[in-house]
Structure 1
Amino acid sequence: MDLATKPPYETVDFKALAQQDEAFNIIWQRHSGKLDFQDPNTTKSLTKALLKVDFGLQLEVPDDRLCPPVPNRWNYVSWIHALLDATNPSYSSHYDPGRQVIGLDIGTGASAIYTMLCLKSRPAWTMCATDVDKKSFESAARNLTINNLITRAKLLQTIDSQPLVPLQYLGVNKLDFTICNPPFFADQTDMQQSLIGKGKSAKPNAVCTGSENEMVCRGGDLGFVTRIVEESLVLRESITWYTSMFGKMSSAKSIIGLIKEKGVANWAVGSIDVGGGTKRWIVAWSFADYRPCNSIARIEKIANEYLPFPTEYRFTLPANIDINAAKYTIEQQARRLHIRWNWDSQSATGVGEASGNVWSRAYRREHERRMRELATSEARDAEMHSSVEDMKVALAFRIAVAEITREVVIEWLRGSEQVLWESFCGMVHRSFKKP
C-alpha cells in the first residue's frame, strides 16, 4: 500500500500481525491470543511490530521513556495529511507528490514517531523536531538515523526558556504545520490518579511507560498548548497550520475558546478513536485564509459553538431542471462574472476566484460603466484580462453538479469573509429557484 494515501486505523488485526512479525508472534502465542496491555513488553512489541510491518520502520526506545501506540499517532498524521491536502494552493484537494512541505514536531520524544511517520509517508516532506530532554533527544536522533531519515530532519534540543516554536533557533522562516502530543497532566498527582483510573468508569486499557517530563507540565495539555497559542499570535502566518492533540475534550474546547477570543476565525477540529476506550481530540488553527472541508474541520459530537463555520453549501435541483441545464447555468453564470474561472465539463466541476462581491448589482453597474468608457473591444479585453490576472483573491470556491443526488455542491476554498461566502452561495442558489 502507498503510505502517502494509507487510511487511518479503524482497528488492528493482531492475529494477522503475529503472522507477519516473529517477535510479536511469540507474545501472541504466549498469551493465547489475549494480549496483556498492562505489560510494557507487550505494548512495546506491538508498537515495534506495527511500525515494521505497516511502515517499514525500526524502533528503539529506552525502557524509561514513552513507547507510543501507533494507531492514534498514525491517525493524527493522517489527519494532518488530509488537512494540508485540502488547503492546497492549487485547490486540487488531492495529494500532490511534488508539494514541498516542512513541519515541526514539538516534543518529538524518544521515538520521534510523528517525525518518522511524516517523513516515511510523504517523500517530499522535511521535518524539524525538538525536545528538551537529552535522553529522549538522543534516542530520537538514533531512530531517525537507523531508518535513513536523518538527512530530511532538522533536530534541536531546546531548553525551557526557549519558545515551543523556535523558528530562529531552527534557522527557518516558515513552516507548513506543527504537530504536537503535549504532556497531558498538570502534576505528578494528576498523572498517578489518571493511571489508576480515579474518577473514571474503568482503568486505562494500556500501561504508560512515559517519564514524568514527557507526561507532566504546568497546566497539563491546556497549559502547554496555551503557550503555543500565545506564540502563534506573534508568529501568525509564519506557520500555516498550528495543530495539537488533546487528552481531554475540555482542554480542546478551552483552546478553541481562546483562539476565538483572540480573533482567529479559521480553525479545524478532529478526533481520534481507534477503540479500546481511549479518545483524543485535535485542534488546528490558521492565520491564513485557506479553508479545509467540513469532513476534516468539523466533527459531529461537539457543540456547534466549537466548530468552524461550514465550508460546504449544497442544494437539490428543482424537478424541472435537468442535469445538463444545471451545468450550463453554472458555467454561463460564472463566465459573466468578473472572476478567474476554470470549468471541467467532464467532472462538471468549476473552480473560481473573486476579488470581492463581483455579483452585486452595484459592482456590475460600475464594471459595465468602466467597460463602456474604453474605446475599442481590444482595450476592453485587455482591461478585463489584466484586472483579473492581477486581482487579490478574497474568495475561492469550487462548484460541482452531483448527477446521482441531483445536487449543486459549493465548497469554500479560500477567503476570510464569512459574509462574502454566504452571499456567493445565496447568489448561486437563487439562479435555480422557481420564478
Structure 2
Amino acid sequence: MTSQKPGLHPRNRHRSRYDMNALCESCPALREFITQTPTGEPTVNFADPQAVKTLNKALLMHFYGVTQWDIPDGYLCPPVPGRADYIHHLADLLAEGNNGVAPAEATLLDIGTGSNLIYPLIGVHEYGWRFTGSEVDPQAFANATAIINGNPGMSRAIRLRRQKEASAIFTGIIHKNEQYDATLCNPPFHDSAESARAGSERKRRNLGQAADAALNFGGQQQELWCEGGEVAFITKMIAESAQFARQVKWFTTLVSRSENLPPLYRALTDIGAVKVVKKEMAQGQKQSRFIAWTFMDNARRRQR
C-alpha cells in the first residue's frame, strides 16, 4: 500500500513517498547519493546540499519534464513538493472565476523567481500557463536564463525581467497595458542577517549537522532576509499593488508565520482590497499559507 504525505494538495504529484529507483532511472546522477534507512529503504542524506540539489533535479526531470536544471552554490534550493502545492492552490483560486476549472490559458508574474525558477517550471508543466519572472540578482537572473535556454520550448512560456530598482516590487516589471491573472511570491522572511543565521543554525541542529556544515537549501541575502522581514516586504507589496489594481486579478504571496497575518490584513483593509483570501497548506508537520487579494469585484474578474 502506498502511504501519502498528510496535507498536500490532491493534485500534488508528491503525495506519495519518493520512489528512489524511478528517480534514479530519470536522473542517474542521483545514484551516487542514495543511502539506506535503518529499515533498508533507499533515501538520501538531507544534510548534504549536493544530495538535496540532485534530488531536486531528479524530481524536476521525472515529474515535470525539465531536462536541464542546476543552481549556483549557495543559492536557495527549494523543496519541490511545497512549491508545487502553492501552484495547485493558486490554480484552485483562479478556477473560482472560471466555472470551477483551472484556466488553460493564464498569465502569471513570479516576483523574485530566483536562480531555481521553480514556480514557472512547475506551472508551465502542470497547467500550460505563461510566466514572467522578475529577479534583482544578476547571477540568479543568468542562471534562470540558462535553465530556460536549456529546456526546449521554455522560452515560449517563460520570460525574465531584471528588477533594476532593488526597493521596487511591481514597478518596472509590470509594463503599461499588460494584464496578469495572478502574481506569486516567496518573500524573504527574516528581518536581519543575524536572524537568518539563527534560523540556519536551528536547521543544522535538527539535521544533526556540525556548526560549520553547508546548509542543505542554501540561500542568498535577498532570498532569506530584508529590513523589517516578511511583514515589511509584504506590506510594501500591498502598497505597491494598488498602482496595478486594474492590471492584475489576484496578487498573492506566501506568509511563513500565521502571527504575521493581522498587520497584513490591516494593510489590505487600509489599501481598499475588495476581497482577501487565505489558502492554508501543509507538508508533513510544516504549516504554510498564502494570502491573495484583489481590487476587482467578481464581475470584473470574470470578464478579464
The two structures have a TM-score, normalised by structure 2, of 0.82
Q: 1:167 to 1:241 in 2, by over 3 A?
A: farther
Cα deviation digits, residues 277-308 of structure 1 (max 9, x gap)? 33221000111123xxxxxxxxxxxxxxxxxx
Question: What SS is found at the alignment partner of 1:196?
Answer: helix
Kept after mapping to 2: 8 A contact 1:17/1:49: no
Which one scores higher on RCO, CA 8 angstroms, separation ≥ 6? Answer: 2
- The aligned counterpart of 1:69 is 79
Kept after mapping to 2: 8 A contact 1:252/1:281: no
Select 1:95's aligned residue among 102, 112, 125. 102
Q: 1:144 to 1:252 in 2, by over 3 A?
A: farther
- The aligned counterpart of 1:28 is 34
Structure 2 Cα separation of the partners of residues 171 and 153 of structure 1: 19
Q: 1:129 to 1:19 in 2, by over 3 A?
A: closer
Question: What SS is found at the alignment partner of 1:244?
Answer: strand
- The aligned counterpart of 1:156 is 161
Structure 2 Cα separation of the partners of residues 170 and 154 of structure 1: 13
- The aligned counterpart of 1:137 is 141
Structure with higher Rg: it is 1
- The aligned counterpart of 1:274 is 283
Q: 1:24 to 1:271 in 2, by over 3 A?
A: farther
- How far apart are residue 42 of structure 1 and its match? 1.6
User: How does 1:340-355 map onto structure 2 within 5 Å?
Assistant: none
Kept after mapping to 2: 8 A contact 1:38/1:207: yes
Structure 1 Cα separation of the partners of residues 155 and 195 of structure 2: 36
Structure 2 Cα separation of the partners of residues 17 and 164 of structure 1: 40
Is 1:229 the counterpart of 2:238? The answer is yes
* Equivalent residue letter for 2:123: C
Is 1:173 the counterpart of 2:178? The answer is yes
Structure 1 Cα separation of the partners of residues 45 and 103 of structure 2: 41
Question: What SS is found at the alignment partner of 2:168?
Answer: coil
- The aligned counterpart of 1:59 is 69
- The aligned counterpart of 1:341 is none
Kept after mapping to 2: 8 A contact 1:128/1:155: yes
Q: 1:196 to 1:29 in 2, by over 3 A?
A: closer
Cα deviation digits, residues 133-166 of structure 1 (max 9, x gap)? 0000000111111123122223111123563113
- The aligned counterpart of 1:112 is 117
Select 1:147's aligned residue among 144, 151, 157. 151
- How far apart are residue 220 of structure 1 and its match? 1.5
Q: 1:168 to 1:38 in 2, by over 3 A?
A: closer
Kept after mapping to 2: 8 A contact 1:195/1:204: no
* Equivalent residue letter for 1:105: D
- The aligned counterpart of 2:211 is none
Select 2:127's aligned residue among 110, 115, 122. 122
- How far apart are residue 172 of structure 1 and its match? 4.7
Structure 2 Cα separation of the partners of residues 6 and 17 of structure 1: 21
Kept after mapping to 1: 8 A contact 2:187/2:234: yes
Q: Percent identity?
A: 24
Q: How many residue pairs were aligned?
A: 280
* Equivalent residue letter for 2:193: Q
Kept after mapping to 1: 8 A contact 2:52/2:217: no
Moved more, 250-259 or 228-237: 250-259
Kept after mapping to 2: 8 A contact 1:109/1:136: yes
Question: What SS is found at the alignment partner of 2:202?
Answer: coil
Q: 1:51 to 1:253 in 2, by over 3 A?
A: farther
User: How does 1:13-412 map onto structure 2 within 5 Å?
Assistant: 13-15=18-20, 17-18=22-23, 20-21=25-26, 22-29=28-35, 33-57=42-66, 58-88=68-98, 92-97=99-104, 100-123=105-128, 125-148=129-152, 149-161=154-166, 163-166=168-171, 170=175, 172-197=177-202, 203=206, 207-275=216-284, 277-290=285-298
Cα deviation digits, residues 105-141 of structure 1 (max 9, x gap)? 1000001111222222222x22111111000000011
Point out where structure 2 has 5 or more consecutive residues left out of the alignment.
1-8, 209-214
- How far apart are residue 258 of structure 1 and its match? 2.0
Question: What SS is found at the alignment partner of 1:65?
Answer: coil
Structure 2 Cα separation of the partners of residues 104 and 260 of structure 1: 23
Q: 1:30 to 1:135 in 2, by over 3 A?
A: farther
Point out where structure 1 has 5 or more consecutive residues left out of the alignment.
291-392, 395-412, 415-435
Kept after mapping to 2: 8 A contact 1:11/1:274: no
Structure 1 Cα separation of the partners of residues 69 and 148 of structure 2: 9
Q: 1:19 to 1:36 in 2, by over 3 A?
A: closer
Structure 1 Cα separation of the partners of residues 24 and 111 of structure 2: 35
* Equivalent residue letter for 2:286: T
* Equivalent residue letter for 2:94: L
Question: What SS is found at the alignment partner of 2:114?
Answer: coil
- The aligned counterpart of 2:4 is none
Kept after mapping to 2: 8 A contact 1:195/1:203: no
RMSD: 2.7
Kept after mapping to 2: 8 A contact 1:222/1:251: yes
